[in-house]
Amino acid sequence: MNLTPGQKQIGRRNFMKAIAGTPALAALAGAAATAGPKRGGPVRAALIGAGGEGKVLLKQAPKNWVDIRAICDINMNHATGAADGLAKLGWAKPKAYEDLKQMLEKEDLEAVIIAVPLFAHADVTVACLEAGKHVLCEKMMAWDVPSCQRMIDAASKNKRVLEIGYQRMYNPGYQAAYEGIIKKGVLGDIHYIRTYWHRNTDWRRKVEATPASLDPSKFGYADLEHLFNWRLYKKHSRGLLAELGSHQLSVANWVYGATPEAVYASSSLSKDKQDKGREVPDHVFATFEYPGGRTATFTSVETNEHDEYSEEILGTKGMLVFKKESEMYLLPEADAKAVSLEVTPRGANAIIDASESRAADAGNRTVKTEGGPDSVFERVVGYTNEIAGFCSAVRMGTPLRCGPEKALGSAAACIRAFESHDQRQRLAMT
């Protein structure tokens, strides 16, 4: 939804007024990540998987909470490049590894941050948990539900913290909205949540030059094409539902306090019909049915960026809009009716690398209202707070904002939706 300038002004002011006084408001400028642990120092950690998403996490890692001592990637060009990048940002240069087992044996680590392809999440996570390390693993939790359960069981068995990377749950704007708007019933009864992620882009990535020693078949890939474009192949990926939809469905589950009972999804491969062997669709449309007759929808298209991406919470008294993780609007019914096609100009000063949930031109944009600094939201603060929150759980036992059980709820629903559009039928959750 693209709001008029008047709606934006009203919506911002309403939002800031509604969340005034909530504990999360103090974290709007990243305050939650600045203190660091009271004792024990930063958590000694390594990054596993130094591709696009891994680099995003590294750039937002708070030094006072985490000490990145090593980086591991089967592609040593990625590992050494990420280590060099951290050194340029003022960190002590981490050691680069190709072999996970070797890194776990040699390095004095307490925790790992995992950003490998989806199909490898469970194996890498379980190996690290079994080695006694705490784990922060990128979303979606795993490729299938049994793999998610393996991760949960390994964390329980080894008494280690396991968190999944849904940064919206650590974004102070979302937290403040949940505390000051959702829980207080400001929206009235909520029966529908609309989520969407629209882009006009090619998901295919260029196959880079790699070290001669890299044999992708050793790691489950048919060739380098499948390694660099793993998101396009069913063996490795769950497509747009996993890479984008699981973020937004986690918000719907959070707001409803429930997980879906059934899903119907349809899809198509439209723009890239001639794309060399691409197996996952570039258009997905899913309807999730929740207890009590409530609904959430997710749409993702890769042929038009109109509306871009948002979560819209529709209640009987008003609407709450989370636009691109940084703009938050609260509109009573009377103010939400008139909608135009006005498009917000893009921001500038890109400071983070592209990842699957963040465009290459994404910047550290802020949204300001007449209220001044209290109305500034930074997109990337969710990543910073996520890492700080994970380290706080490791160091001091503080509660996780997501946790593996909630992450499983999002993953299971998105996996079932993928199966639904493959089978072309409505499926109950199993």
Tell me the CATH number at 104.
3.40.50.720
Same domain (yes/no): 36, 136? yes
- The answer to whether the beta carbons of residues 303 and 202 sit under 8 Å apart is no
Nearest to 89 by CA among 119, 118, 68, 117: 68
Residue 345's pLDDT is what? 40
What is the per-residue pLDDT for 232?
95
Same domain? 122 vs 90: yes
Average pLDDT over residues 192-205: 93
CATH number for the domain harbouring residue 173: 3.30.360.10
76 is a domain residue: yes
Across 289-312, average pLDDT: 96
What pLDDT, on the 0 to 100 scale, is given for residue 207?
Answer: 94
Q: Is residue 181 scored above 90 in pLDDT?
A: yes
Other C-beta atoms within 10 Å of 383: how many?
26
| pLDDT over 90 percentage in the chain | 78
Domain count, the chain: 2
> Cβ atoms within 10 A of the Cβ of 333, count?
14
16 and 98 within one domain = no
Residue 71 in any domain: the answer is yes
Does residue 390 lie within any of the structural domains? no
Q: Is 49 inside a domain boundary?
A: yes
Please indicate, yes or no, whether residues 84 and 21 belong to a single structural domain of this protein. Answer: no
Over the stretch 46-101, which tens digit does the pLDDT of each residue have?
Answer: 999 999 999 999 999 999 999 999 999 999 999 999 999 999 999 999 999 999 99
- Is residue 178 domain-shared with residue 149, that is, in the same domain? no
Q: Do 218 and 341 fall within a single domain? A: yes
User: Which residue, of 145, 166, 187, is where some domain finishes?
Assistant: 166
Residue 105 maps to a domain: yes
Whether the CB-CB separation of 180 and 257 falls below 8 Å is answered with: no
Q: Please tell me the predicted confidence (pLDDT) of residue 352.
A: 29
CA–CA dist 93, 276 (Å, integer)? 39
Same domain, 229 and 108: no
Q: Are residues 208 and 143 in the same domain?
A: no
Which residues form the domain of 356? 5-27+168-378+403-428
- pLDDT for res 222: 96
| Residues sharing a CB contact under 8 Å with residue 91, sequence separation 6 or more, in sequence order | 63, 68
In a domain, 140, yes or no: yes
pTM above 0.85, yes or no: yes
Q: What is the mean pLDDT of residues 388-410?
A: 96
- Are 365 and 218 contained in the same domain? yes
Question: Could you read off the pLDDT of 233-249 as tens digits, one per residue?
Answer: 999 999 999 999 999 99
Same domain, 350 and 278: yes
Do residues 217 and 261 both lie within one domain?
Answer: yes
Q: Mark which of 118, 150, 166 sits at the end of a domain.
A: 166
Residue 348 burial class via C-beta count within 10 angstroms: exposed 0-12, middle 13-18, buried 19 and up: exposed
> Do both 233 and 367 map to the same domain?
yes
What average pLDDT does the chain have? Answer: 88
Look at residue 333 in the predicted model and tell me its pLDDT: 87
Domain end position, chosen among 105, 132, 166 = 166
Q: What is the pLDDT of residues 275-289, one digit of tens each?
A: 668 999 999 999 999
Does 367 map to a domain? yes
Judge whether 73 lies within some domain: yes
For the chain, give the percent of residues with pLDDT over 70: 86
Q: What confidence tens digit (pLDDT) does each residue in 338-393 have? A: 444 233 343 332 222 345 665 433 333 333 333 333 334 677 889 999 999 999 99
Q: What is the pLDDT of residue 334?
A: 77
Q: Which residues pair with 123 in a beta bridge?
A: none
